[in-house]
Structure 1
Amino acid sequence: MDTPQKTGESPRRSPRLVSWHWATPEAQAILATRNLSAILRYHRRVHGDSQTQTGELLGYDKTYVSALELGKRHLHDVGSLRHVAERLSLPPHVLGVTDPADADHRAMLQFGQSTVRLAEIARQSGHATEAVAELWPLVARLEARARDGNTEREVLRLLAHARLGLGTALGNVLPEERLATAAHWTAQSLDVVRIFDDPVLTTTALRMHGNELRKSGLVGAAVHRLVHAAAVAPNLTERAAVLPLLARAAGSLGNQALFDRTIAEAHQLLDEVDHTSLVNPTALYEIHLRGLIATGRTDDAIRRAEIAAPTSTISIAPQWRVIELITTGRVRLLAGDQRGATELLVGAVREARAQRLPHQLQRALRAAGDALPDARESAEQALAQLRTEMAA
């Protein structure tokens, strides 16, 4: 049995900042092999670490890390495998160690359901990185059970919800060039959802996947998914949840007729359904402004922005405040109010930086352009800091 001597403990990278690396499709393929050599090489590559740095992370000597990567040495004892999994922010089963959460099947399901609910609360509260750190090990554990033949309906339903939650949380924390990973996970949920004859689950999956497709630039596909979601929605509440996202996607596509029909219906349903973080006057105000600009009606957007934004009827998720500031700042710039636009965008950058929202920083950067150098510089600096942290 090969038990390495540790060179001393070293600080472990925060799982908040590294979990997304393990959630990429490439990483999932590597993890599925359960090959420690390949896993170590991938980890070093995505983090840009030397074998010495990986050794410091694991508490092992550089030469031992090299031997592990080359397959000249192997870890067999549970203690060492669990130690490596913890240091790399991996669920233990990836390295062949039984996860205590799997010992009691019922307890694992209850734990998983609570994890999905709490992760959604964290995301809505502006803590999407924590949501990713909680969800992706759960997804990995459930997928391992499914691969091993444990395809009970309860497991598969939980897997669908966990994949949706992971994809949506990743959609908050990843920059635009990496948003395909978020869409990948929401798409994976559709493979499971098809098993169930559940209109609510189907609508939810199509809605969330469609929104991530839009964010990743696949706007035509997003509209297709969202139109489907609205069509299969079993009640007004579920349909109302789809319409704001469909309006946004239709605007991004430049489909004025679809945007106008959808945003009008969404406003009408405000009086008929309970308000949520997406279905409320404040969210629809921002979506309406952005859609008017996207469909070439700048003057209409300016006139609408001159009317005070509606008072929120519920507690709004922090990221919505950032989204609204950026859109309103863009409208103020189009109206010729550079000072007002700068104040709004700088405020958006400050909040987006605090909430770790790189996609919104990129939106703010585009909105500032060359016209607002102070806002552009603020967004550039904040985005560079976030990129550095994500690569750490």
Structure 2
Amino acid sequence: MDTSHNTASRPVRRSARLVSWRWATPEAQAVLATRDLAAILKYHRCVHGDTQAETGELLGYDKTYVSALELGKRRLTDITSLRHVAERLALPPHVLGVTDPADTDHRAMLQFGQSTVRLAELARQCGHAAEAVAELWPLVARLEARARDGHTEHEVLHLLAHARLSLGTALGNVLPEERLATAAHWTAKALDAVRVFDDPTLTATALRMHGNELRKAGLVGAGVSRLTHAVAIAPGHSDRAAVLPLLARAAGALGNTLLFDQSIREAEQLLDTVEHTSLVNPSALYEIRLRGLIATGRPREAIRHAEAAAPPPTLPVAPQWRVIERITTGRARLLAGDQPGATELLLDAVQQARTQRLHQLQRILRAAGKTLPDAGDSADHALTQLRTEMAA
């Protein structure tokens, strides 16, 4: 029976673009937390759709040896073999019990963890959220294991809080609406870690990001509560400005006209006093106001707002914002009776959304309804393709 590693001749396989999100689900975390190789091998094969023979080829093991490992008839106990399996499966070593806090992997994790989070955040903002998830989840999984083992050093918890927030936000970009609770799950865990620190800025950031993911997951009232709290404790103008657009979105979705008007008005007043970001800029606030007017039942005002020229971008527009803007403007065109114009905008949104924004495709379906069948059919087809790709 061939149990040789033969690592030099076999490149480490990388996961498919939309597979990585599955490792961040609560189901996957429960499997990984067992550190049971048999369960992890079975789950890995389920995620990737592999046979035991294919997994054996990846590991350099015979199919029957993989079967014996999954059945518990064989066990790997030496560190070298466990590290080999972790590397071949693209899993962090702690998953298989390699958790020496003084080892090179641990030191590298702390040294480069913040860079990983920053780069993942940049990738997400540039429209590569799936790649951000793929980079973040091994780091988060390793940090989670450290916390479960009782290692709660300040630097570990601080990195864990940031990594959880970034992972939850990235998942919120790649999951369909019915799975967005997974994104909110991770931002909630980040909020738990943040409470250890007496840091108003970090706490306001965590509340802001968690509140937004709650809104997206359909828990709008809870989202408004978190976002209102974030505004209340924001220590400076920039921190407050970062929350207000998201609070306006959530208030609009809740149908709270007064809170929406107050939030969007204050956000617009702060534009001249804070540095512009992907959310705090005239173009983004134009879209948020338009969406809120529609959501709070003011179609005439929404049409007038849509007919006014949108302000020019003050910084490069992220791909997801182009999708969001087209959906919202398409809804306004439909309110104005311009069905061809609305169809054109929603079809363009489908084309841009199909590679990364599953829940935006679902928004397009709702916006199209039965009135715009071409846009609806196109969105439905793209959504079916993406769901098939994501299926285990």
Q: Note whether the superposition's TM-score is higher than 0.5.
A: yes
Letter in 1 for 2:297: G
Larger mean CA deviation between 139-148 and 153-162 belongs to 139-148
Partners of 2:262 and 2:85 in 1: CA distance: 54
Relative to structure 1, the CA distance from residue 56 to residue 106 in structure 2 (aligned partners, 3 Å threshold; closer, same or farther) is closer
**Conserved 8 A contact 1:91-1:99:** no
Distance 1:221 1:102 in 2: 42
- 1:296 aligns to what? 297
Please say if residues 135 and 166 of structure 1, whose CA atoms lie closer than 8 Å, have aligned partners that are also in contact.
yes
- CA distance in 2 between counterparts of 1:183 and 1:101 reads 33
- The aligned counterpart of 2:180 is 179
Structure 1 pair 53–105 and aligned structure 2 pair: CA distance change class (3 A): closer
Query: What's the CA shift string for 1:80-117, capped at 9, x where partnerless?
Result: 43343234332122112358995276543230011111
The answer to whether the 8 Å contact 1:159/1:189 transfers is yes
Q: Counterpart in 1 of 2:380?
A: 380
Contact kept? 1:101, 1:108, Cα under 8 Å: no
For the residues of structure 2 that align with 1:59 and 1:334, how far apart are their CA atoms? Answer: 61
Q: In structure 2, what is the Cα distance between the partners aligned to 1:82 and 1:268?
A: 55
**Structure 1 equivalent of residue 241 of structure 2:** 240
Partner amino acid, structure 2, of 1:335 = A
Task: Please list, as runs of the form range in 1=range in 2, the aligned pairs for 1:146-295 lying within 5 A after superposition.
Answer: 146-295=147-296
| CA distance in structure 1 between the partners assigned to 2:103 and 2:369 by the alignment | 51
CA contact (8 A) 1:285 1:309 kept: yes
Change in Cα spacing, 1:156 to 1:274, as seen in structure 2 (3 Å) is: same
Query: Which deviates the most, 170-179 or 86-95?
Result: 86-95
AA matched with 1:360: Q
The alpha-carbon distance between structure 1 residues 349 and 115, as it changes in their structure 2 partners (threshold 3 A), is same
TM-score, length-scaled by structure 2: 0.93
Q: Distance in 2 between matches of 1:105 and 1:205?
A: 25
8 Å CA contact 1:16–1:132 kept in 2: the answer is no
Q: Distance in 1 between matches of 2:264 and 2:352?
A: 27
Q: Mark the CA change 1:43 to 1:14 in structure 2 (over 3 Å): closer, same or farther.
A: closer
Question: What is the CA–CA distance in structure 2 between the aligned matches of 1:55 and 1:335, rounded to whole Å?
Answer: 60
Partner of 1:365: 365
SS across alignment from 2:387:
helix
| Separation (CA, whole Å) in 2 of partners of 1:248 and 1:189 | 22
Query: CA 1:214 to 1:198, structure 2 compared with 1: closer, same or farther past 3 Å?
Result: same
* In structure 2, C-alpha distance between the alignment counterparts of 1:366 and 1:224, rounded to whole Å: 26
Structure 1 window deviating more from structure 2 (299-308 vs 71-80): it is: 71-80
Relative to 1, partners in 2 of residues 1:17 and 1:83: Cα closer, same or farther, differing over 3 Å?
farther
- Within 2, Cα distance between the matches of 1:125 and 1:376? 26
- Indicate how the Cα distance of structure 1 residues 344 and 74 shifts in structure 2: closer, same or farther if over 3 A, else same: same
Whichever residue aligns with residue 383 of structure 1, its letter is L
**Percent of counterpart pairs with the same letter?**
77
Q: CA deviation at 1:329?
A: 1.0
Structure 1: gaps (5+ residues): none
Alpha-carbon distance in structure 2 between the residues aligned to 1:97 and 1:150: 15
Aligned equivalents of 1:52, 1:368: Cα separation in 2:
46
Q: C-alpha separation between the residues in 2 aligned to 1:386 and 1:127? A: 15
Contact kept, 8 Å, 2:125 with 2:318, in 1: the verdict is yes
1-structure distance, mates of 2:5, 2:99: 23
Aligned in 2, Cα 1:104/1:26: closer, same or farther, shift over 3 Å? closer
CA–CA separation in structure 2 for the residues paired with 1:358 and 1:99: 39
The residue identity in structure 1 corresponding to 2:374 is D
Q: Is the 8 A contact 2:12 2:87 kept in 1?
A: no
Matches within 5 A, 1:318-333: 318-333=319-334
Q: Which residue of 2 aligns with 1:66?
A: 67
Separation in 1, partners of 2:360, 2:88? 31
- Corresponding residue number in structure 2 for 1:316: 317
**Rounded Cα–Cα distance in structure 2 between residues aligned with 1:239 and 1:316:** 22
| Deviation of the 1:145 alpha carbon | 2.0
Name the CA distance, whole Å, in 2 between partners of 1:81 and 1:127: 31
Alpha-carbon deviation of 1:63? 3.0
Matched to 1:384, the amino acid is: T
Deviation of 1:59 (Å): 5.0
Q: Is the 8 A contact 1:204 1:229 kept in 2?
A: yes
Tell me, which stretches of 5 or more residues in structure 2 are unaligned?
Answer: none
CA RMSD of the aligned region, Å?
A: 2.3
How far did 1:299 drift? 1.6
Relative to structure 2, which stretch is displaced further, 240-249 or 37-46? Answer: 37-46
Deviation of 1:147 after TM superposition, in Å, equals 2.5
After superposition, what is the alpha-carbon deviation per residue over 1:173-214, rounded to whole angstroms, capped at 9, x for unaligned?
Answer: 111111111000000011111111100000000000000000
SS at 2:17's partner residue?
helix
Matched, 1:4 2:3: yes
- Output one character per residue of 1:27-80: Cα deviation in whole Å (capped at 9) or x when no partner: 112111100111123334445555455445545444333222211112234454
Q: 1:306 to 1:21 in 2, by over 3 A?
A: same
CA distance in 1, matches of 2:93, 2:389: 25
Contact 2:13 2:88 in 1 (8 A): yes
CA 1:65/1:107 → structure 2, altered by over 3 Å: closer, same or farther? closer
1:75-154 equivalences in 2 (<5 Å): 75-97=76-98, 102-103=103-104, 107-154=108-155
- Would the aligned equivalents of 2:2 and 2:62 in 1 still touch at CA under 8 Å? no
| Pair 1:87–1:390, CA change in 2 (3 A) | farther
Superposed counterparts of 1:329-344, under 5 Å: 329-344=330-345
Please show how residues 48-67 of structure 1 align to structure 2 within 5 Å: 49-55=50-56, 57-67=58-68
One-letter amino acid of the structure 2 residue matched with residue 263 of structure 1: I
